[in-house]
Structure 1
Amino acid sequence: MTPRQQIHLNLLKMNKPQPEQYEEAAYLIDKKLLKGDYRRSNGKDDYGEIFDILIDRLTPDGMDYLEKLEQIAAQAKSQEQAQQHRITAQNFSPMQMQQASKLWHERSGWRAFVFLVVVGLTVAAIAALFNFG
């Protein structure tokens, strides 16, 4: 999504335009995508600059354009997420991916052995307490 489209999306969502967005808002009003009015300066120093803008509502064409921009934004977001997922997947080696898919006891034989010994000793100790206690 281009920066200009981002500004249009922001304005079409009826957010108050910032002074640096007045030209784009006037463009949308001129193209009949927004219903509103603006005033240009007649002063010597800033002749032709927009100094006041009033946006009333979206026009039907503006609603269509807003839907189109929202679809573009959604596609851009999904592409960005897919790109982020690809980058994350590239950071793992095939061995790391294989290890990540295994359970903890499949990754390391000595861990499983130690775990089983500890569990066995604990069960034996509990059984001994109940039998002789």
Structure 2
Amino acid sequence: MTGESQKNSERLDVPEQLAYSQDHVWMDTSSSPAVLGVTEYAAEQLGDLVFLDLPEMGTHVDAGDEIVELESSKAVEPLVCPVAGTITHVNRAASDDPAVINSDPYGEGWILKMELDDDQPELLSAQEYAKIIDAQ
């Protein structure tokens, strides 16, 4: 097949302004509350999303907590939160139509917003994240 040698980071969108976790979660910490979603790489690996189980607003989570269940045609996977904080908003539109996460993971496909406990969470840069997906 042609194109298989192309790096994932060259083929997939990895926006520079976002921060990332090794579990394929992106965060926009430039505003408050911070916005969180799954990366294009994760959405592609999951396949067509058919169900999204969102947490309750006001829930406090710790880094490493499984906070959202993503169900696709291929698998059911948890979204692991990379930071601690309180969930302030959930994307009900994405819950009603999970396919928006596949089609626009960094825009309309955001999953939740949260107030962070730590204003300097330990996350990866776009370049660091690109190295991880290239190795997979």
The structure that is strand-richer by fraction is: 2
TM-score, structure 2 as length reference: 0.23
Give TM-score, length-normalised by structure 1. 0.24
**Greater fraction of residues in helix:** 1
Q: Which has the higher contact order (CA 8 A, sep 6+)?
A: 2
Of structures 1 and 2, the larger Rg is shown by: 1
